[in-house]
């Protein structure tokens, strides 16, 4: 290192003295990076007479830091040792910091390490600009570029005997994760030193990038192996010569053959297809195959996907096997055929239902879990179907499950499936659960509040890991399912009572949609009535005539059973009507008597005014509750205190106004 850095002006020391005493840089020819750094140091009130780091991690904290950056240190250490061997004996030290400027590792001559320790240039010390002023490591972190600082270019006097060259180390996202520094005596300042450090820092970053890719590939490979072994379809892999190299467990069960019996043999010795066995080596798309090695021929729908290298050369083919016939029916017995139900098919023009449908339409385009809230009979399953049919999953299964209708002891096997012999009465070959059947599509969990606590734990794990393990099984089966839940309960109250898991509630309640009861959308009552009546007329091939007074009865009734009750009323009236004529005699007793009671009496103008004032007061109270909840981040206890309500009163009002938290 005989060549000195001749870019240092002779007046650097005088410039430093003038700036640190007067704050003036007139006439100074300093690098722009140094000037900007000095100005930052002055603003941070760094002491120019000092230079010792005052922020030093305790031993335990240093160990934690080193463990957190273990991979960076492991990769950087060989480069640091190589640089040190190159400069050994020249009073230089090689230093590695993290992204905040904390020293994690260093190599150097013993005497120089002692000198460095005098200014706390030691492992665990923070060498950011805010701590020790202008220095190559701290300044490189600030500007995100390689920096060389020599002698009086350092803002602090105790650094003037030193020269340092540092380069930032970037991760894959372009973020600075650390710096590599080479520091030594100022008289050995050399321009090439910075170039050597930059080259080493870039090599370290490249190695980190390679390690990260290898790590991601390892994780991905593990996931693929799990999927390969857990998928319910058969998967057959053949090489470019058409010989079988792998078969997953589901394929072994379908074919009744073990991999050991088939490996290394030509695929055409087991399978036949219309285009001949050789076609299987290049199978791309669908083909019907026949498997000959059983008592009877077995037929499969096969989906082939060729695997090629970067030059497009064929390496092999992956073939997905799906049985045609009896076995397919065993796999999908409980999947309900997806009805083409859309938002447009939902009858209603009221502001309340239009708002609900607008929310649902926005949600449908996402993959988020949805919680539908509404009274019994408001049409939660129909809305769930519409969300599914407007989503990217519309071509895949929609599986509806009523959690309240499954016996507690069977909930686990129904939802998550079971292996053969898992319990008395279980099928010998086991059975997939609703989550497996819905994989790729949507599962609708109605009355989610009725799910037993022990199954809530399993459901939470499935949502987090996207894997399901059957009852009595040990294999984790990958499932890709969108979850839509519905309830007529206040789940927050259930959480407070300990009947519903808090963590599951927040996992499911990503987006909640409130479906208004029929009494809150009176303008839709006759629309729905006419819709159901027309459908019944088409079914029975009858044109119904409805007495005019029926409208008054229907519109003034409270409809506690909501849309479902209205549909049932239409069913009753059309069944009892003779000659297609529908009158008040065909009304259910509860509707007829309801209207004949006080509800039917003429309403005075004063009563109407009272009702309007009551509705306005309720709306004001609802807005006040919403504002206070938002201000308190959804904290019910704090909100109840501010509004002078008890928690139970607040919950009751939230339920009344359809407010979810």
Domain 525-600 has CATH 1.10.530.10: no
Residue 272 per-residue DSSP state? E
As a whole number of angstroms, the distance between CA 255 and CA 265 comes to 15
* Mean pLDDT, rounded, for 399-403: 88
- The pLDDT, as a whole number, for residue 615 is 73
Residue 188 per-residue DSSP state? G
Name the residue with tokens 């599986």.
399
Kindly tell me if the per-residue pLDDT of 9 is higher than 70.
no
Kindly tell me if the per-residue pLDDT of 61 is higher than 60.
yes
For 12-212, the fitting CATH number among 3.40.640.10, 3.20.20.80, 3.30.450.40, 3.90.1010.10 is 3.30.450.40
Tens digit of each residue's pLDDT (9 = 90 or more) over 607-622: 555 666 677 777 778 8
User: Any residues with CB less than 8 A from the CB of 46 and at least 6 apart, and which?
Assistant: 129, 130, 131, 132, 133, 155, 156
- The pLDDT, as a whole number, for residue 333 is 35
* Mean pLDDT, rounded, for 40-60: 92
Report the phi/psi class of residue 441: left, alpha or beta, with left for phi > 0 and alpha for psi in -120 to 50.
Answer: beta
Tens digit of each residue's pLDDT (9 = 90 or more) over 431-456: 788 888 888 889 999 999 888 888 88
* Mean pLDDT, rounded, for 238-243: 86
Identical topology for domains 12-212 and 231-331: yes
- The pLDDT, as a whole number, for residue 378 is 87
For 343-514, the fitting CATH number among 1.10.8.50, 3.40.50.261, 3.30.750.210, 3.40.50.300 is 3.40.50.300
* Mean pLDDT, rounded, for 509-524: 88
**Hey, is 255 helix, strand or coil?**
helix
Name the residue with tokens 């039917």.
600
Kindly tell me if the per-residue pLDDT of 1 is higher than 70.
no
Kindly tell me if the per-residue pLDDT of 155 is higher than 90.
yes
Kindly tell me if the per-residue pLDDT of 106 is higher than 50.
yes
- The pLDDT, as a whole number, for residue 656 is 81
Backbone angles phi, psi at 512, to 5 degrees: -115, 140
**Hey, is 235 helix, strand or coil?**
strand
pLDDT confidence band for 603 (50 / 70 / 90): very low
Write out the E strands in 248-402: 271-273, 285-291, 298-308, 314-323, 370-373, 398-402
pLDDT confidence band for 124 (50 / 70 / 90): very high
Kindly tell me if the per-residue pLDDT of 423 is higher than 70.
no
Token pair listed for 100: 């905040």
Highest mean pLDDT of the ranges 65-74, 105-114, 568-577, 593-602: 65-74
Q: Looking at 202-211, 344-353, 545-554, which range is the least confident one? A: 344-353
Q: Domain-by-domain residue ranges, the chain?
A: 12-212, 231-331, 343-514, 525-600, 605-657
Mean pLDDT of the chain: 83
Q: Looking at 402-416, 489-503, 535-549, which range is the least confident one? A: 402-416
Tens digit of each residue's pLDDT (9 = 90 or more) over 252-299: 888 888 888 888 888 888 887 655 445 566 676 777 787 876 656 677
As a whole number of angstroms, the distance between CA 186 and CA 151 comes to 6
pLDDT confidence band for 604 (50 / 70 / 90): very low
- The pLDDT, as a whole number, for residue 492 is 85
| Domain 231-331 top-level CATH class | alpha beta
User: Any residues with CB less than 8 A from the CB of 486 and at least 6 apart, and which?
Assistant: 371, 372, 373, 374, 380, 381, 384, 444, 445, 446, 447, 448
Q: What is the pTM of this model?
A: 0.44
């Amino acid at each position: 290192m005989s060549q000195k850095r001749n870019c240092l002006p002779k007046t650097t020391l005088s410039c430093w003295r003038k700036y640190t005493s007067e704050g003036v840089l007139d006439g100074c020819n300093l690098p722009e990076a140094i000037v900007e750094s000095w100005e930052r140091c002055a603003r941070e009130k760094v002491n120019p007479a000092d230079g010792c780091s005052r922020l030093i991690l305790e031993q335990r904290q240093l160990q934690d830091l080193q463990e957190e950056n273990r991979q960076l240190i492991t990769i950087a250490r060989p480069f640091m040792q190589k640089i040190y061997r190159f400069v050994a004996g020249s009073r230089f030290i090689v230093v590695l910091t993290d992204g905040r400027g904390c020293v994690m590792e260093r190599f150097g001559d013993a005497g120089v390490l002692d000198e460095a320790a005098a200014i706390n240039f030691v492992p665990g010390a923070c060498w950011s600009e805010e701590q020790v002023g202008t220095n190559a490591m701290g300044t490189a972190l600030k500007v995100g570029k390689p920096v060389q600082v020599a002698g009086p270019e350092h803002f602090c006097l105790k650094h003037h005997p030193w020269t340092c060259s540092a380069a930032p180390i970037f991760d894959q996202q372009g973020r600075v994760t650390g710096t590599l520094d080479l520091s030594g005596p100022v008289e050995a300042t050399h321009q090439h030193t910075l170039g050597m450090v930059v080259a080493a820092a870039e090599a370290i970053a490249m190695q980190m990038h390679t390690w990260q890719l290898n790590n991601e590939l390892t994780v991905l490979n593990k996931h693929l192996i799990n999927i390969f072994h857990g998928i319910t379809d058969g998967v057959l892999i053949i090489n470019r010569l058409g010989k079988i190299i792998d078969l997953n467990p589901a394929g072994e069960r379908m074919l009744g053959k073990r991999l050991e019996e088939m490996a290394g043999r030509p695929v055409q010795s087991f399978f036949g297809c219309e285009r001949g066995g050789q076609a299987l080596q290049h199978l791309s798309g669908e083909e019907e195959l026949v498997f000959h090695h059983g008592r009877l021929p077995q037929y499969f729908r096969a989906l082939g996907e060729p695997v090629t290298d970067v030059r497009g050369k064929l390496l092999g083919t992956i073939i997905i096997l799906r049985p045609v016939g009896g076995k397919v029916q065993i796999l999908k017995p409980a999947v309900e055929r997806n009805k083409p139900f859309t938002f447009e098919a939902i009858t209603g023009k009221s502001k309340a239902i239009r708002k609900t449908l607008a929310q649902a339409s926005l949600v449908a385009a996402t993959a988020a879990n949805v919680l539908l809230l509404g009274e019994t009979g408001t049409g939660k399953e129909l809305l769930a179907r519409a969300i599914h049919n407007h989503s990217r999953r519309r071509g895949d299964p929609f599986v509806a499950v009523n959690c309240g209708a499954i016996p507690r002891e069977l909930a686990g096997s129904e939802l998550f499936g079971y292996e053969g012999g898992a319990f008395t009465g279980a099928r010998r070959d086991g059975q997939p659960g609703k989550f497996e059947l819905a994989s790729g599509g949507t599962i609708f969990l109605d009355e989610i509040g009725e799910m037993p606590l022990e199954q809530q734990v399993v459901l939470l794990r499935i949502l987090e890991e996207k894997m399901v393990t059957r009852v009595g099984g040990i294999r984790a089966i990958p499932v890709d399912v969108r979850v839509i839940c519905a309830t007529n309960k206040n789940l927050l109250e259930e959480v407070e009572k300990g009947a519903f898991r808090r963590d599951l509630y927040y996992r499911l309640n990503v987006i909640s949609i409130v479906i208004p009861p029929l009494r809150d959308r009176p303008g839709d009552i006759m629309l729905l009535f006419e819709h159901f009546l027309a459908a019944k007329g088409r079914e029975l091939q009858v044109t119904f005539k409805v007495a005019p007074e029926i409208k008054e009865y229907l519109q003034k009734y409270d409809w506690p059973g909501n849309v479902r009750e209205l549909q049932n009323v239409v069913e009753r009236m059309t069944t009892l009507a003779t000659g297609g004529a529908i009158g008040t005699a065909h009304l259910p007793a509860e509707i007829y008597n309801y209207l004949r009671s006080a509800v039917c009496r003429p309403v005075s103008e004063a009563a109407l005014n009272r009702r309007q004032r009551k509705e306005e007061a309720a709306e004001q109270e609802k807005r006040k509750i919403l504002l206070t909840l938002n201000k308190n981040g959804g904290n019910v206890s704090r909100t109840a205190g501010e509004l002078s309500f008890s928690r139970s009163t607040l919950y009751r009002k939230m339920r009344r106004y359809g407010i979810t938290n």
